[in-house]
Amino acid sequence: MTTDRLTVVTGATGRQGGATAHRLLAAGRPVRALVRDTAAPTARALVAAGAQLVRGDFDDASSLPAALEGAAALFAVPPVAFGPGGTDVEHEFARGRALIDAAASAGVDQVVFTGIASTPGRIGGSEGKRRIEDYLHGRIRSVTVLRPVRFMTNYLGTAAVGIDGIVHGVHRHIFPPDEPVQIIAVEDIAEFAALAFDQPDRFAGRTLELAGDAPTPLEAAAAIAEATGAEVRYEQITRAEAATLNPEIARVRESWAAGSRWHADIEALRVIHPGLRTLTDWLAGPGGDELRSHLLKDA
């Protein structure tokens, strides 16, 4: 890896950005982490690993130029924006546009953008992400787009929206229990980002739909139970429950029921990154330890 090119990482206190920042730092690349709270434990862990911290906010465009000054590359995770009716597409796009404009003005020549996996009829996974992708290609010379499916770390939480996570031994989601669902470890998103930064000529202009495994929800629950020693079962939420939770959750459930699926080519991805993790691999590592601790606390 070319280690003298400063890379700015957004979302660095989150799952994808954090994994990517730590992966780049471990390879000796200088990293500047864009964070909103420099005192957060995850931010301090980045400092301990060797990152620079800079405070910035996507909703304050004036805070972005200083974060990107002198940088050659950018790992971009513009945060989704929510309004009363669900995702606020215009707000999400405005955040992405502000970041891209600041990067272009600063002379950043390489961006790895991480969005959402596509399904038939929804290229880029969402309108906001697709619009950001299109804008990015028009402003930055070297662009690589990563479109990951559902994260394995989602088993640890996100239950505040009424689905995902494991609460009192139950994992609830929209998916049919006996049909494969693609998932990925955030550490592998970081690996693909590192490859793109290391080999820009190889990955410039490419879009990668990312997944590492595709267990059924029932198989995933059984694997988690075996790895953690906890009782875990899966429940598919009903159509009425989805509608009560959120209009977007209801829409995605209906789309999935109609046959819409993520379609990452896992075997082709494994050629690029032979260490691509399965759920069993992830459960055998720190992810499994964290999930075991979570389930014990929740028991």
> Cα 20 from chain centroid?
10
Is 239 inside any structural domain? no
We report the CATH number of the domain holding residue 40 as 3.40.50.720
Name the strands in the sheet holding 170-173, side by side, starting at the edge strand that comes first in the sequence. 166-167, 170-173, 233-236
Residues of the chain with pLDDT under 70: 1-3, 81-86, 124-125, 158-162, 299
Is 85 inside any structural domain? yes
The predicted structure's pLDDT at residue 1 = 47
- Which residue range forms the structural domain that includes residue 81? 7-148
The predicted structure's pLDDT at residue 4 = 81
Which segments within the chain are labelled E, that is strand? 7-9, 31-35, 52-55, 73-76, 82-83, 86-87, 110-114, 142-148, 150-151, 166-167, 170-173, 183-184, 207-210, 233-236
The predicted structure's pLDDT at residue 159 = 47
- Cβ neighbours of residue 88 under 8 Å, at least 6 residues apart? 81, 82
Is 292 inside any structural domain? no
Is 77 inside any structural domain? yes
Is 166 inside any structural domain? no
Helix intervals (H) in 2-88:
15-26, 41-49, 64-68
Number of domains forming the structure of the chain: 1
User: Kind and range of the H or E element at 219?
Assistant: helix 217-228
Is 181 inside any structural domain? no
Residue labelled with tokens 């400092």: 47
The predicted structure's pLDDT at residue 23 = 97
Is 22 inside any structural domain? yes
Is 217 inside any structural domain? no
- Cβ neighbours of residue 122 under 8 Å, at least 6 residues apart? 260
DSSP conformation class of 148: E
